Every structure is written in C-alpha cells, then in structure tokens.
Amino acid sequence: MQLYCLQRREFIALIGGAAAAWPLALRAQQPAKLPTIGFLGSGSPAADTPWTTPFLQRLHELGWVEGRTVAIEYRWGEEIAERYAAMAAEFVRLKVNVIVTAGTVPVTAAKRATAEIPIVFAAAGDPIGSGLVASLARPGGNATGLSVQQPDVASKRLELLRELVPGLRRLAVLIHIDNPETALDLRAVQAAAGSLGLEIVIAEVRRPEDIAPAIEATKGRADALYVATAPLLNTDRARIGALAIEARLPTMCGIREYVKAGNLASYGPSIPDLFRRAAEYVDKILRGTKPADIPVEQPTKFDLAVNLATAKALGLRIPESFLVRADEVIE
C-alpha cells in the first residue's frame, strides 16, 4: 500500500511538471511577432502604386520581405485630410515599429499622434518650417526622411515651359489651396514668373470636383497650365491631363507620373527614387538607429519627361534640344 501511494505521488508530480512545461513549449513554438511598418498613403492604392512599388522593392533588397521578415499595415487617406489623424492614431494602438508616409499634412498628423514611434517621410515640402524636424542635419524628435524643398525648381520648370510654348505670356497655376506645400510652390512660381514677365492666373481647388471648373475657368485667360504638386491633384492626374487638352493648355507638372497619365511635361524630383531611399531609412530604424540621428536628405535624382502624343494633340512641336535632355519621352 505504501509503495502504491509513493508511485501515485511520483506519477502526479511527473504529470504536474509536464503540464507546467507544456505552455512553455507551446510559447517556444509560436513565431515571434514581426516588426511592423505602418504605411499611411495619402492617396489610393492604385494612384500610389508607382511609389509604393519601389519602396517595397528596396525593402526586399535590404532583407525585409513582407509577410516573412516584416509586416506592413496599409491605410489610405484617399486625399481626405480628416482621415490622417484617425489612421495615425490607429497605428499607435497597433504599436507599429515605424510609420511611413509622405506630404506635410499626413506627416503632421502622425507627429501629433505619437512622439515615440519613429516616422519616416518619403517627401516633405518644408520639414523645418512646418515643425517636422529641428534641422536637416539633426532632426531631433521622432521624424526624419527626405525634403523636396527646392526653391529653384519652379524657375526651371517655367524656363522649360517657355521652350515648349515660345509665345507664353499668361500662365494659369492649378493649386490645392488647402495644402500647405502648395503655398511654397505658389510663392516660388510667382517669383519666377515675375522675373520672366509672365502674368499669373490662379485656379484654386479644394475638392476633386473643383478641378474641372477650375481648368475650364482658365480657357482664354492663359497660354499654359502649371500644376502645383499636391496629393489631391496627384490622384486625378489623368483627368487633369485630359481636361487641359480640351482647354488647349500645355501642362507643366512636378512629377513624371503626370506625363505618363497624359500631361505634356514635367520636371522635378523622382518620387519613386525618394520612396526607395525612404526604405533605407526604415531599414536603419528597424535595425536600431534613432530617427533623431538620421539627417534629412535632399533629392539627388531629377526627371525631365515629355509626352509626344499630348504635344501632337495640342499642335506643339517639341524642340530637338528638349528631347535630347529628357529622361523620358513618351510616344
């Protein structure tokens, strides 16, 4: 009887010890949580594909494979500024490791949502003036990335536009009036236009439905249309190109993707290249570097593009000297 009780106690102790070990074994078998990127797109998945694709490609080159070594939570603002704050707050609740976005408005929303989670901006118009960073060399805080503030770019665009439209005298400027980066672009355009003796006609939009009447209102009042880069206009770049052709207005834009969508010409920083470089910032942060220690950089790659089909539709002849300098000529 004594032997039976001893064996029973040993059996219970053995089972109890094994039972206690089971949760540990199960926990050991569960995969570790992947580092997570919160990607806050200002537009839509389709409109932003030219920029998200190079971002993901560069991440892959650096060893980050979506679903295997890193997780990505995507949120899309669809050009509605009011959504950015809620989406940024959601990333905070999800405890993502880094937030990636572009444009002053969504970056500002992310900064207001968290002072702890690192933020990488692929493009920001005036990161110092808008309070995103303390300085380009020493950002401080939790945000860093790439600045697209280039005061001389607007002047270059107008000079190129005069090559395409030799009789240019009056210039319409299509702007998203509620976008803070547009104000910088507009001031630069006005200064450049003044030095070139051009008259400026401002066409303001606040919503997508304002684009068509704004362009229509410039008919007969302008010889060409300057499109100030803004997320709201980026999403509707194809419609802007079509409306401009109808209004007989050659367009000068800041992003090559506008030309691919039917606008006449563009000159400006390569946004795909900026998103590739943003992936390098994310890589450094996920490997332990603090955003405060990563300097904000400027664009290094600029694109000049022209659409020959659009030129033909407008009855324009593109100078050979222009074609030779272009990085992309769309037939």
Closest CA to 218 of 192, 180, 247: 247
Contact call for residues 73 and 94 (beta carbons, < 8 A): yes
- Check residue 151 and give its pLDDT: 64
Q: How far is it, in rounded angstroms, from Cα 107 to Cα 119?
A: 8
- Phi/psi at 113 (5° precision): -80, -30
For the chain, counts of helices (H) and of strands (E) = 13, 12
Residue ranges and CATH numbers for the domains of the chain are 36-149+271-293 (3.40.50.2300), 153-270+302-330 (3.40.50.2300)
- Check residue 44 and give its pLDDT: 86
* pLDDT by residue, tens only, the chain of 331 residues: 444 444 444 444 444 444 444 444 444 444 578 999 999 998 889 888 999 999 999 999 999 999 999 999 999 988 787 899 999 999 999 999 999 999 888 999 999 999 999 999 999 988 998 899 999 999 999 999 999 876 679 999 999 999 999 999 999 999 999 887 788 889 999 999 999 999 999 999 999 999 999 999 999 999 999 999 888 898 899 999 999 999 999 999 999 999 999 999 999 999 999 999 999 999 999 999 999 999 999 999 999 999 999 999 999 999 999 999 999 999 8
Annotate 4-34 with b (16+ C-beta within 10 A) or e (fewer). Answer: eeeeeeeeeeeeeeeeeeeeeeeeeeeeeeb
- Check residue 111 and give its pLDDT: 96
- Check residue 185 and give its pLDDT: 87
Give Cα 22 to chain centroid, integer Å: 48
- Check residue 82 and give its pLDDT: 84
Q: How far is it, in rounded angstroms, from Cα 251 to Cα 151?
A: 20
- Check residue 125 and give its pLDDT: 83
Q: What is the pTM of this model?
A: 0.84
Q: How far is it, in rounded angstroms, from Cα 216 to Cα 36?
A: 45
Q: How far is it, in rounded angstroms, from Cα 169 to Cα 161?
A: 11
